[in-house]
Amino acid sequence: MMQYKGYIGKIEFDEQADIFHGEVINLRDVITFQGKTTRQLKKAFRDSIDDYLDFCAKRGESPEKPYSGKFIVRIEPELHKTVATRASLSDKSLNAWVHDVLAEACHQSVDK
């Protein structure tokens, strides 16, 4: 994983082609990059992001920003009730409770 200006790149190595290639994963627009060395890969990643931002500016468009911090989750009504109850019992809003549970889940998955 690589980060630059809030954008995250996921990298893979193609053994057959003997090249690293990657894609920016935290937006809908498609931004790819590649390089034979890690130095080339890092430069290609930064250049691709900068090119994307320049392209948007030239077109007078706002670049897609990596995640707004809002998302909608659809769950069964019974689970919704249970989650809301757990949040209330924890003296937290539903948003704060879900935030804490997701943050803990992500922290655990990174540590494993």
pLDDT tens sequence across 63-90: 988 777 778 899 999 999 999 999 999 9
**pLDDT tens-digit readout, 9-35:** 999 999 999 999 999 998 888 999 999
Would you state the pLDDT for residue 90? 93
How would you classify residue 39: left for phi > 0, otherwise alpha for psi between -120 and 50, otherwise beta?
alpha
Packed helices 94-111 and 77-89: angle between N→C axes, nearest 10 degrees: 90
Tell me how crowded residue 24 is: count the other CB atoms within 10 A of its CB.
Answer: 22
Would you state the pLDDT for residue 112? 46
Contact 45, 39 (CB under 8 A): no
Q: For residue 38, what are its two tokens?
A: 């890690």
**pLDDT tens-digit readout, 36-66:** 999 999 999 999 999 999 999 999 999 988 7
Q: Which residue ranges make up each domain of the chain? A: 2-59, 77-111
